[in-house]
A and B are shown apart, each in its own frame.
Chain A
Amino acid sequence: MSSARTPDQTFDRFAGRQLLILALAGIAGITLLMVLLGWASSLTGASAGANVAVDPVTKTITLHMSTEPPQLNSSLATDMLSGMVLGHVMEGLLRYDQNSELAPGVAERWHIDGNGATFWLRKDALWSDGQPVTAHDFVFAWRLALDPENASQYAFILHPIKNAEAITRGELPVDALGVEASGDHTLRVELERPIAYFDKLVAFPTYYPIREDFYQQTNPRYGAESDTLLYNGAFMLTRWVHGAHLRLEKNPQYWNHEQIQINVLDFPYITTDPNAALNLFKDNKIAQTGLAAENLYEAMERRWQIQRFMDGSVFFVEFNFRDDRATKNLHLRKAIQLATDPAELVYKVTKLPGYLPGESIFPVWLKGVNGFFRQEYPAPAPTMDLDAAREHLAQAKRELGEIPALVLLTGDNPLSSLQSEYFQQVLRKNLGLDVRIDKQIFKQRLAKMTSGDFDMVMAGWGPDYDDPLTFGDLFASWNPNNRGMYANAELDANVEIAKTSLDPKTRMDAFGEIQRILIEDAAVLPNYERGSTFVVNPAMKGMVRRAVGLDPDYTYAYIDEP
């Protein structure tokens, strides 16, 4: 009996067998559950598991969105994502072409003179239900956006039209608007005063047409679902599962549909997480994604073709000029201006290729009289000078007494945290100033900016239309986006000149003055001009990225299998 086991050992052996059986049963159970779940999800049809990023057979391009658009009523849309979807499914009088130049849209030709504009609409422009797009649809849409009852945040973009401002204030009825349809295919616009950039404005989503009978029939659900929106653009929204899926299909009624090569633009993934999007790209589930700084190493390691693009926006620190704030003091602002270096921020701290150190609130891509504005009017950007900064600080202390802790309002994303902590330490080290960081989500930050609950705020501005005025009037005393209540009569006068003058030289001179005043008065500290790095599936060609207008634009995309 040499092989006799003690009772303990037999127990172990028995227990081991039992454990093994249990483990196998567990694995089998989980496998079964997964098969069942897979079958269940295939029943609902919402799964996009089989999709590939670029499908040359069905001519489908699959993409992701960070969040879904809040709604798609073009007269109310404010955010970039709504603008992106609307830009594909709707078309204004004019649009941007492959080279980002203004091109005819619904309007075949147009004429703009001092006091007005005339647009001749093409006769083959149709809504997705087959009815023609008429001048009345534009009149209706513009009146709708200006109607104080609708409270469109972008009503101001229609203000160059005669009486528009008075209508938003409720002083005049909406039909007093200086726009009329003479016949179905001619649109006449009266302007409040001559402006040089009206053609660029009409490509903006707020200027898109809306058909009255459809709007009245669906209101208040207009633009809330895929079937309560009428399309006149290159694509139609055929599916909109809220929070989960948007599907755009080619619009057969679109006048230029022969030029559109993609049949489906599918957005089955909605995620704010850049790493999730990157994983989708790696798995060949989506055709394009942006890269954050921490993903660049992996992108290089995987030998991807990394592309870069300046999205046209400028980021800066705004000061609060309300009476009870220390930042109202010029010398304090000067001290902060001279103690900081945007180049160090961009090259050493944010470390993202494509970012440019901020020198002015006018970005480098704006066109001037002949060439680029910033080449014709170089920004008098101050260089970092600690001695001068400390002198200004001493002067500020003489005027204010002890400087209280300054509240720096900022966003809650990783990049804003990094920047604000860098800024906090720079001011502490170089000037001995105490800075408190107030991190807030976007909505809350906007509310605090509006109520003036800050000393400094990290803000940014993207262009609405392709003219320096989109940046130039930001700090006009009457602009609601001037959150710090900066008021400077000289600047206001120059904004007025830029708004009213038709002579490019006079206008650019005025912008040059605005640039000089803002820097000399240290009213704003430019941080950087934002760029972005992204990767694209090599089979997808023809995607257009632009700073002003629809971005990214897949209208001209095509599939080219290598």
Chain B
Amino acid sequence: MSEATLTPEDFRPAPATHAAQTLSRPSLSYWQDAWIRLKANRRALISLYIVMGLAAFTLLGPLVWDVDPAAQDVDQISKPPGADRSATVVEPYSAWDPSLQNGDGHGLRLAAPATNQTVRLVWDPDPHAAGYLIYRNIFPIGPENAFGLPLGETFSPNHTYFEDLLDLAPRRYYYTVVSLDAFGDRIGHETLEAEVKRVITADDAVVRGLADSPDALSVGDKVTLGLHPLGTDNLGRDMLARLMHGARVSLFIGICAPVIFMLFGVIYGSAAGFLAGNADQLLMRFADFVVALPFLLFMILFKILFDVGAGESGILPMLLAMVLLSWPGTARLVRGQILQIREEGYIGASRLLGAKTNYLILRHMIPNTLGVILVTLTFAVPSAIFTEAFLSFIGMGVVPPTPSWGSMCNEGIKTMLTTPHELIFPALFISITVLAFNLLGDGLRDALDARMRSMD
């Protein structure tokens, strides 16, 4: 054991160095830190890009793709994307005189080339027949003798012609003429294959802007019909234009309604939380009361209250009903946060230093709840979009011809099996939007959580 010898040297202050106080990294505010963490979250970042892309799609899209979403192209109804669009120019439609134009040859035959304007059938009279039934099929006739769609009938043995105008598409059809005897029994049938060509008249081409004047086109020329990148719906309306305009309604409701009701909820909740006691009890019981009100009923009541007449948009009552009935959730959340924060030590310290109520609320309480508020907002957006889609789906929202994603789904679902693109595109947009906002909200929650700050 040896005695340490202390010299006065040992009691001299150490030389002042600044090393301990030098920041190894640049100083980061709460928001910068959150942003860094958000950037590290790949899912959230992709979602953010998708949300930005949607905004561009909605706001800039119609400028690039300047097509009237209400315009109906009845020659291209329910066309999937990428359908063939070439058409041959023909003479305008003229009534058919079967005694003059009856095709050459015998048996069931075409009196004129089959086009999507008209298919003219002629056949030989059957001496035993009292009338004929005319069928059309898109599948070859098999041994079952299922002839397909019954197009029409004639009631005389010598009425041996039929003109098919019904929804002709450029494809192969199988026409069958069945002879009936006087009792209505089938006594024979004959089938004809016909390849229908898409045609257009010169005048029509001009109306559709495919040519400058009818003289510029002569019969037999090829033209290409208007482009519909995502196909058309059941009235021949452009899906892409409708999706863009539909996004306006969906995103308007999806963003406006949450922003307004969150704003109200924050004010209401922070007032309740800050006042505490009896005032808090009173305010929160009222919020409980509002929670119990049925949304759909109020939506209908507002529609009547605002005298929303026939065929007028129900968007405003929808917005109002959402704002008036959705705020209590936010209010509760914010109140809880405020109640917690007001008991924190730094609030007491701030109070001791003489901080005013306003300062306490604005400087300490609201910023500390902002993370929660922001996260709730991003979760409220998809739910509002979904509500709008649902209401338009059941016919309570937008009115025709205004599209919205929900109403487009409603129209598309009827033809889900035959023309699925009418349902898939709007449904895809709803799904992607809702998913993107949800993932973004998820990422924001992680990024804004102050307790996770030290974990990186």
* Chain B positions within 8 Å of A361 at CB level: none
Chain B: minimal CB distance from A302 (Å)? 8
Chain B: minimal CB distance from A351 (Å)? 4
Judge whether A300 and B235 touch: CB under 8 Å: no
Chosen A-B contacts, 20 in total, with CB atoms closer than 8 Å, are A294-B418, A300-B137, A300-B139, A300-B148, A305-B146, A306-B146, A347-B167, A349-B74, A353-B150, A353-B166, A405-B311, A407-B309, A407-B310, A408-B311, A422-B235, A424-B400, A429-B72, A435-B311, A437-B399, A437-B400
B75 within 8 A of A: yes
B64 within 8 A of A: no
Within 146-181 of B, Cβ neighbours of A (below 8 Å) are at 146-151, 165-167
Judge whether A353 and B149 touch: CB under 8 Å: yes
> Which residues does A use to contact B, with CB under 8 Å?
294, 296-298, 300-301, 303-308, 343-344, 346-349, 351, 353-354, 405, 407-409, 412, 414, 417-418, 420-422, 424-426, 428-429, 435-439, 453, 533
CA distance A414 to B147 in the complex (A): 27
B84 within 8 A of A: no
Within 8 Å by CB of A421, from B151, B401, B417, lies B401
B55 within 8 A of A: no
CA distance A142 to B137 in the complex (A): 50
* Chain B positions within 8 Å of A303 at CB level: 139, 142, 144, 146
CA distance A424 to B72 in the complex (A): 11
Assuming A409-B310, A425-B70, is B395 touching A439 (CB within 8 A)? yes
B452 within 8 A of A: no
Contacts A351-B77, A422-B72, A437-B400 supplied; 17 other A-B pairs, CB < 8 Å: A294-B415, A294-B417, A298-B417, A300-B139, A300-B148, A303-B142, A305-B146, A307-B150, A354-B150, A417-B400, A421-B401, A425-B235, A429-B71, A436-B311, A436-B399, A438-B309, A438-B310
* Chain B positions within 8 Å of A412 at CB level: 395
CA distance A305 to B149 in the complex (A): 9
Judge whether B401 and A351 touch: CB under 8 Å: no
Judge whether A297 and B150 touch: CB under 8 Å: no
* Chain B positions within 8 Å of A353 at CB level: 136, 149-151, 166
* Chain B positions within 8 Å of A408 at CB level: 311
CA distance A351 to B419 in the complex (A): 14
B415 nearest in chain A by CB position: A294
CA distance A307 to B151 in the complex (A): 10
Interface centre among B72, B75, B151, B399 (most CB of A within 10 A): B72
B310 nearest in chain A by CB position: A438
> Which residues does B use to contact A, with CB under 8 Å?
70-72, 74-75, 77, 136-139, 142, 144-151, 165-167, 234-235, 309-312, 395, 399-401, 411, 414-415, 417-418
Judge whether B400 and A421 touch: CB under 8 Å: yes
* Chain A positions within 8 Å of B70 at CB level: 425, 428
A453 nearest in chain B by CB position: B310
A414 nearest in chain B by CB position: B414
* Chain B positions within 8 Å of A343 at CB level: 165
Assuming A347-B167, A425-B70, A436-B399, is B312 touching A296 (CB within 8 A)? no
CA distance A435 to B311 in the complex (A): 8
Assuming A294-B418, A306-B150, is B137 touching A420 (CB within 8 A)? no
CA distance A298 to B138 in the complex (A): 11
Judge whether B74 and A348 touch: CB under 8 Å: yes
A348 nearest in chain B by CB position: B74
Chain A: minimal CB distance from B170 (Å)? 14
B74 nearest in chain A by CB position: A348
CA distance A105 to B144 in the complex (A): 39
CA distance A390 to B395 in the complex (A): 33
Chain A: minimal CB distance from B147 (Å)? 8
CA distance A346 to B165 in the complex (A): 9
Judge whether B151 and A407 touch: CB under 8 Å: no
Judge whether B137 and A308 touch: CB under 8 Å: no
* Chain B positions within 8 Å of A294 at CB level: 414-415, 417-418
Chain B: minimal CB distance from A400 (Å)? 20
A302 nearest in chain B by CB position: B146
A308 nearest in chain B by CB position: B150
Judge whether A300 and B146 touch: CB under 8 Å: yes
CA distance A305 to B71 in the complex (A): 37
Chain A: minimal CB distance from B76 (Å)? 10
CA distance A420 to B310 in the complex (A): 13
B149 nearest in chain A by CB position: A353
Chain B: minimal CB distance from A527 (Å)? 15
Interface centre among A304, A306, A409 (most CB of B within 10 A): A306
CA distance A93 to B344 in the complex (A): 92
Chain B: minimal CB distance from A171 (Å)? 39
* Chain B positions within 8 Å of A307 at CB level: 150
Judge whether A349 and B77 touch: CB under 8 Å: yes
* Chain B positions within 8 Å of A420 at CB level: 400
Report the 7 A-B pairs with minimum CB-CB distance, sorted nearest first: A436-B311, A438-B310, A303-B146, A308-B150, A351-B167, A348-B74, A303-B144
Judge whether B146 and A348 touch: CB under 8 Å: no
